[in-house]
């Protein structure tokens, strides 16, 4: 590969462009008319407008992206996360047109990106799974019949895609129809696929994910875990590496289970295997696999001293893995704080408008990934995340103390951000004591 189309926007597009430059590759950006002044447009070697602001008319139009790649002489396509990153048809069409899709094959995306198929695959490979429906449904009648077998409370979630979109909890049969209909509409709008999977819901669990990587030469490895239990309505707010609640026995079992899936399906490139973990029973259950790089990959990069995006490019080019073999947990602790253009004091409503100033924290073991700048207009059409603040220390307490200072220093003028929420969270005793669970924010903070 010599020239890469970056089929995304914002922070991840900038991240991919930097990785291309580091690896001697030419980068080609795409942008909607709303993103004409976004930094990734100017950072890339070339840039092309692909349509109006609405994602379904720009970033989700796979044919236009492929035509742009072909017309500009690209030989690879980097999807990042979101949009078409887990679209198997898009991956297949890239391959059919002679473009390297920098991710897993379309077959792997279908097998593991579809939550119902992924569950059956995990079960076949001996990995414990959460009880759920045998398939995915668009028909309310068919789903209603399956719901009785799964039981309540129930998690209804989009079979294709992630990020909390198309995901709802139905606590009884009485509310099932309304919840299913809402999730179906949201999944259709976000992913172009309204199929929904039904899964038994657990009220108080941790959300743990294992970063995995594999090449086409049969090499596969993990880079330990991230704890993503601080969530609001299934959207992750904070991630930590390592998890503060796992002991080494469970940690190794979970990592080995993730690798069993990767090797069992012949997976290639970056992926994340996600589990829920019940702290009382110390049991974990597979819930899904994300067949792409994650939003929160920087916290693993900081923790393991790696460059996962560069490794994606290398593996897609047919090279062997060169990630470090981490037989033991690395020293230190890192926390990633998602900075979103939202107002925590007003039910996390989006805060669009012009950023007037940015004061950035600086120091050792600190990283701030963002595409925002003074004068940048936050558009209303896309995800609200405008940055990720990653802070580390010799241990979790040190990482928290350093994070507190960094969050106080970070000041983004002109809009509201979730920084204020993080400053409240960081001093809450439950967070300090690692007593958080996935619904803690809604139940304890009523947010």
CATH number at residue 187: 3.30.1490.20
Indicate whether 56 pLDDT > 90. Answer: yes
pLDDT tens digit sequence for 311-364: 999 999 999 999 998 989 999 999 999 999 999 999 999 999 999 999 999 999
Q: Are residues 260 and 234 in the same domain?
A: yes
Indicate whether 116 pLDDT > 90. Answer: no
Q: Are residues 266 and 175 in the same domain?
A: no
pLDDT classification of 28: cutoffs 50, 70, 90:
very high
Least confident of 87-101, 177-191, 299-313: 177-191
- Per-chain mean pLDDT for the chain: 95
> For residue 201, what pLDDT is reported?
87
Indicate whether 164 pLDDT > 80. Answer: no
The verdict on residue 32 lying in a domain is yes
Indicate whether 161 pLDDT > 80. Answer: no
Q: Are residues 440 and 417 in the same domain?
A: yes
Indicate whether 114 pLDDT > 80. Answer: no
Cβ contacts of 370-377, under 8 Å, gap ≥ 24: 370/11, 370/339, 371/10, 371/11, 371/13, 371/14, 371/38, 371/39, 371/40, 372/412, 373/39, 374/413, 376/37, 376/38, 377/37, 377/352, 377/353
The verdict on residue 405 lying in a domain is yes
Which residues make Cβ contacts (< 8 Å) with residue 153, sequence separation at least 6?
169, 170, 171, 172, 200, 201, 203
pLDDT classification of 175: cutoffs 50, 70, 90:
very high
- Of 340, 324, 414, nearest in space to 163 by CA: 340
pTM value is: 0.89
3-state secondary structure string, 293-325?
A: CCCCHHHHHHHHCCCHHHHHHHHHCCCCCCCCC
Indicate whether 135 pLDDT > 90. Answer: no
Q: Are residues 353 and 383 in the same domain?
A: yes
Q: Which parts of 54-172 fold into alpha helices (H)?
A: 62-71, 88-96, 106-108, 115-124, 140-150
**Structural contact between residues 205 and 416, judged by C-beta atoms closer than 8 angstroms:** no
Among 292, 314, 338, 396, the active-site one is: 292
**Residue with the two structure tokens 């690395």:** 330
Number of domains in the chain: 3
Final residue of a domain: which of 173, 200, 227?
200
> For residue 119, what pLDDT is reported?
86
**Structural contact between residues 229 and 324, judged by C-beta atoms closer than 8 angstroms:** no
pLDDT classification of 446: cutoffs 50, 70, 90:
confident
> For residue 57, what pLDDT is reported?
97
The mean per-residue pLDDT over the stretch 167-195 comes to 92
pLDDT tens digit sequence for 338-352: 999 999 999 999 999
Indicate whether 243 pLDDT > 80. Answer: yes
As given in the structure block, the two tokens for residue 384 are 């609200």
pLDDT classification of 376: cutoffs 50, 70, 90:
very high
Strands 154-158 and 235-241: unpaired
pLDDT tens digit sequence for 248-266: 999 999 999 999 999 999 9
pLDDT classification of 219: cutoffs 50, 70, 90:
very high
Indicate whether 52 pLDDT > 90. Answer: yes
**Structural contact between residues 288 and 228, judged by C-beta atoms closer than 8 angstroms:** no
Q: Are residues 313 and 384 in the same domain?
A: yes
Q: What percent of the chain lies above the pLDDT cut of 90?
A: 88
Final residue of a domain: which of 82, 102, 122?
102
> For residue 115, what pLDDT is reported?
76
**Structural contact between residues 392 and 365, judged by C-beta atoms closer than 8 angstroms:** yes
The verdict on residue 112 lying in a domain is no
The verdict on residue 326 lying in a domain is yes
Structural domain boundaries enclosing 195: 131-200
Which residues make Cβ contacts (< 8 Å) with residue 364, sequence separation at least 6?
none
Q: Are residues 192 and 232 in the same domain?
A: no
> For residue 165, what pLDDT is reported?
83
347 catalytic? Reply is no
CATH code for the domain in which residue 88 is found: 3.40.50.20
Q: Are residues 92 and 179 in the same domain?
A: no
As given in the structure block, the two tokens for residue 290 are 């994300």
Cis before 153 (ω within 30): yes
Q: Are residues 196 and 235 in the same domain?
A: no
The verdict on residue 115 lying in a domain is no
Q: Are residues 195 and 304 in the same domain?
A: no
The mean per-residue pLDDT over the stretch 148-155 comes to 90
Which residues make Cβ contacts (< 8 Å) with residue 412, sequence separation at least 6?
339, 355, 357, 358, 359, 372, 386, 419
How far does CA 260 lie from the centroid of its chain? Answer: 21
The mean per-residue pLDDT over the stretch 141-167 comes to 87
Q: Are residues 77 and 154 in the same domain?
A: no
Q: Are residues 89 and 138 in the same domain?
A: no
As given in the structure block, the two tokens for residue 70 are 């072909």
Q: Are residues 55 and 91 in the same domain?
A: yes
């Amino acid at each position: 590969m010599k020239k890469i189309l970056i089929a995304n926007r914002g922070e991840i597009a900038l991240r991919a462009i930097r990785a291309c430059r580091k690896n001697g590759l030419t980068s080609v950006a795409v942008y909607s008319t709303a993103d004409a002044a976004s930094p990734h447009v100017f950072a890339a070697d070339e840039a092309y407008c692909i349509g109006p602001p609405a994602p379904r008319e720009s970033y989700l139009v796979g044919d236009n992206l492929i035509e742009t790649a072909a017309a500009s002489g690209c030989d690879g396509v980097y999807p990042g996360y979101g949009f078409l990153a887990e679209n198997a048809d898009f991956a297949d069409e890239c391959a059919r047109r002679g473009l390297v899709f920098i991710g897993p094959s379309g077959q792997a995306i279908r097998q593991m990106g579809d939550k119902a198929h992924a569950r059956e695959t995990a079960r076949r490979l001996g990995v414990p799974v959460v009880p759920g429906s045998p398939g995915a449904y668009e028909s309310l009648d068919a789903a209603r019949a399956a719901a009785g077998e799964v039981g309540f409370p129930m998690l209804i979630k989009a079979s294709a895609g992630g990020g909390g979109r198309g995901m709802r909890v139905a606590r009884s049969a009485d509310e099932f129809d309304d919840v299913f209909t809402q999730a179906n509409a949201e999944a259709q709008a976000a992913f172009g696929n309204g199929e929904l999977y039904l899964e038994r819901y657990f009220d108080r669990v941790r959300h743990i994910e294992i970063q995995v990587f594999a090449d086409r030469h049969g090499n596969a490895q993990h880079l330990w875990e991230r704890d993503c239990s601080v969530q609001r309505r299934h959207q992750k707010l904070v991630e930590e590496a390592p998890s503060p609640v796992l002991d080494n026995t469970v940690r190794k079992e979970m990592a080995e289970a993730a690798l069993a899936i990767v090797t069992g399906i012949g997976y290639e490139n970056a992926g994340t295997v996600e589990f829920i973990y019940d702290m009382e029973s110390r049991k974990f259950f597979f819930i899904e696999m994300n067949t792409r790089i994650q939003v929160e990959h920087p916290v693993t990069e900081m923790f393991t001293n790696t460059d996962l995006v560069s490794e994606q490019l290398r593996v897609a080019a047919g090279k062997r893995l060169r990630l470090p073999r981490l037989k033991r947990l690395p020293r230190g602790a890192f926390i990633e704080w998602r900075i979103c253009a939202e107002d925590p004091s007003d039910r996390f409503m989006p805060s669009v408008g012009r950023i007037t100033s940015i004061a950035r924290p600086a120091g050792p073991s600190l990283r701030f990934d963002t595409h925002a700048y003074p004068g940048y207009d936050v558009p209303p059409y896309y995800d609200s995340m405008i940055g990720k603040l990653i802070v580390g220390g010799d241990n979790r307490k040190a990482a928290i103390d350093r994070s507190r200072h960094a969050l106080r220093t970070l000041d983004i003028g002109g809009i509201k951000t979730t920084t204020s929420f993080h400053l409240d969270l960081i001093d809450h005793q439950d967070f300090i004591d690692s007593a958080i669970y996935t619904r803690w924010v809604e139940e304890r903070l009523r947010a």
